[in-house]
Amino acid sequence: MPDSGRPVVQENMLDNAQVMRALERRLVAHIAAGTTDCGAAAMRVSASEYADPARLEAEKRELFRKLPLVAGFSCEIPNPGDVMLFEAAGPSIVVARGRDGTVRAFLNMCMHRGAQVVKECGNRKLMTCRFHGWSYDLEGRLVGMPSEGDFPGEDRDRLRLVQVPAGEWGGLIFVKAHAGEERIDVAAWLGEMAPLIARFNLGGAKPVKSDRIDIDTNWKYALNTYGESYHFGTLHPTTFSPAAFTNTNLYDRLGRHYRVTFSQRAQGDLVGKDESQWPAPPVYGGSHYIFPNTIIYGAPVEGGGTFLHMYRLYPGEAPGKSFTIMSCYRGGDVPASISDDVIAQTHDFIEMVVRTEDYSISAEGQRNLECAPPGHALVFGKNEIALQNVHRDIAEAIGMPLT
Ligand code: FES
Ligand SMILES: [Fe+2]
């Protein structure tokens, strides 16, 4: 299997500036040579990857119902009693921070007749169903049951909310969208990606804005647009391209996760210059893909600190339908003098570009692939190694070989 084979783990030994400098060194070498990180060969995949209903069902079942998924940043429910909803993967799930500070998650399903117990995020002591008023504490115990005498033989202990697996690590909350009481070992799930995520200090972040974008394209087609810079000059001539080189990026495979680091135009000035003259801190813009559907992007804010963006992509009701939840956060290192509006404006710009450029062309491609002749295949270049590996890994995870 093609793999960049970079010794990413060794980055653990370096501080943030050293890591960014090492990445910058690799980028500047690519800029100088007109190259990019590559796999071994181009790869063909069937159009049915994006259009086969059986594949979509397998992805929903094997990826979105079984694997750990990012439910949100810890900073979205920072205090005991804070509750949020996570509904994008299928079942409505309520995620609550208990009085002991532990995050737990439950099916948002009242044990009386199944209504949704929580309708909106907020802080509360109890979660009370608005149908008949059954109340649950933050550990999911049924603590209030109007006219309890009308339920003879029913035991409150057996009427707890159904728990789902949850875990919290490094400022991220994960859940699995099925019943279960296990704690998710997030660090183990992230593996080699964990120290890279830890560098963002997500625990110190603050949520600023979130949007949902509905798209007429397969979720993997949309996901593919985040994994290569080959399209920057042609699809984004006036938006992203002025800031970043085309077809010049780093790719690091981290198990089923990956990091893609984009080259900034300013780094072009470093070619041929002695490193002692390179400005500090190094410029950095990179996407961290967490299998199967999440990308966390970090980039410097003008004036200091880190802009954090999270893109979570989900399948819709048909192979050609999907949606993205795009959320932005201010890094804990952003100076107080920079307002949330600055962070929100960056979010709005990226959202506009992704929606009107990346996702617009994704919908066109999807329509064509759904109507393509039988046996039609598309081709990923060796420069689209991130896409190649994502498709290989998804195929393996759902138990349906690529065709
Ligand atoms: S369905 Fe929730 S109290 Fe009746
Ligand atoms: Fe793009």
Q: Are residues 285 and 253 in the same domain?
A: yes
Q: Are residues 226 and 80 in the same domain?
A: no
pLDDT of residue 1: 36
From 144, 161, 183, the end of a domain falls on 183
Edge-to-edge, what's the strand order for the sheet holding 206-215?
Answer: 206-215, 322-330, 306-315, 294-300, 286-290, 257-264, 244-254
Cα–ligand 2 centroid distance for 235 (angstroms): 7
pLDDT of residue 4: 43
Q: Are residues 271 and 157 in the same domain?
A: no
Number of the ligand 1 atom closest to the C-alpha atom of 132: 3
Residue with tokens 């979660």: 127
Number of the ligand 1 atom closest to the C-alpha atom of 117: 2
Backbone angles phi, psi at 235, to 5 degrees: -85, -30
Residue 160 lies in a domain: yes
**Residue 45 forms beta bridges with which residues?**
378
Q: Are residues 169 and 203 in the same domain?
A: no
DSSP secondary structure letters along 200-215? T-GGG-EEEEEEEEEE
Cα(370)–Cα(50) distance, integer angstroms: 8
Backbone angles phi, psi at 245, to 5 degrees: -70, 150
Largest separation between any pair of C-alpha atoms in the chain: 82
Q: Are residues 369 and 284 in the same domain?
A: yes
DSSP 66: T
Cα(132)–Cα(145) distance, integer angstroms: 8
Residue 3 lies in a domain: no
Residue 228 lies in a domain: yes
Ligand 1 atom 1: the closest Cα is on which residue? 113
Ligand 1 atom 3: the closest Cα is on which residue? 132
Q: Are residues 168 and 212 in the same domain?
A: no
Q: Are residues 342 and 389 in the same domain?
A: yes
Q: Are residues 204 and 326 in the same domain?
A: yes
Q: Would you give the distance in Å from CA 92 to the centre of its chain?
A: 19
Q: In this structure, what token pair is assigned to residue 28?
A: 């500047």
Do the strands 82-86 and 122-123 form a parallel or antiparallel pair, or are they unpaired?
A: antiparallel
- Total number of domains in the chain: 2
Quote the ipTM score.
Answer: 0.98
Q: Are residues 218 and 302 in the same domain?
A: yes
**What is the domain range of residue 344?**
8-62+193-398
What would the pLDDT profile of 142-165 be if each residue is shown by its tens digit?
A: 999 999 999 999 999 999 999 999
Cα(393)–Cα(285) distance, integer angstroms: 25
Cα(278)–Cα(280) distance, integer angstroms: 7
Find the ligand nearest to 142 CA.
Answer: 1
Q: Is 131 in the pocket of ligand 1 (CB under 6 A)?
A: yes
Q: Is 134 in the pocket of ligand 1 (CB under 6 A)?
A: yes
Residue 239 carries which side chain, given as an amino acid letter?
Answer: T
Q: Are residues 254 and 376 in the same domain?
A: yes
Residue 188 lies in a domain: no
Beta carbons of 110 and 117 less than 8 angstroms apart = yes
CATH number for 82? 2.102.10.10
Residue 2 lies in a domain: no
From 148, 183, 218, the end of a domain falls on 183
Residue 1 lies in a domain: no
pLDDT of residue 6: 47
Cα–ligand 2 centroid distance for 318 (angstroms): 23
Q: In this structure, what token pair is assigned to residue 350?
A: 């990226």
Cα–ligand 1 centroid distance for 107 (angstroms): 14
Examine residue 207 and say whether the peptide bond preceding it is cis (omega within 30 degrees of 0): no
Q: Is 331 exposed, middle or buried (0-12, 13-18, 19+ CB in 10 A)?
A: buried
From 125, 151, 183, the end of a domain falls on 183
Q: In this structure, what token pair is assigned to residue 10?
A: 């060794």
Residue 39 lies in a domain: yes
CATH number for 394? 3.90.380.10
Q: Are residues 242 and 153 in the same domain?
A: no
DSSP 281: S
Residue with tokens 């990923």: 380
Cα(375)–Cα(281) distance, integer angstroms: 50
Cα–ligand 1 centroid distance for 116 (angstroms): 8
Cα–ligand 1 centroid distance for 112 (angstroms): 5
Q: Is 130 in the pocket of ligand 1 (CB under 6 A)?
A: no
Cα(125)–Cα(135) distance, integer angstroms: 10
pLDDT of residue 315: 98
Cα–ligand 2 centroid distance for 395 (angstroms): 24
Residue 9 carries which side chain, given as an amino acid letter?
Answer: V
Q: Which ranges in 97-225 belong to alpha helices (H)?
A: 186-190, 194-198, 219-224
What would the pLDDT profile of 284-328 be if each residue is shown by its tens digit?
A: 778 999 999 999 999 989 899 999 999 999 999 999 999 999 999
Query: Which residues of the chain fall short of a pLDDT of 70?
Result: 1-14
Mutate which of 94, 106, 112 to test ligand 1's pocket (most atoms within 8 Å of Cβ)?
112
Q: Are residues 258 and 376 in the same domain?
A: yes
Q: Is 136 in the pocket of ligand 1 (CB under 6 A)?
A: no
Residue 89 lies in a domain: yes
Q: Which ranges in 252-339 belong to alpha helices (H)?
A: none
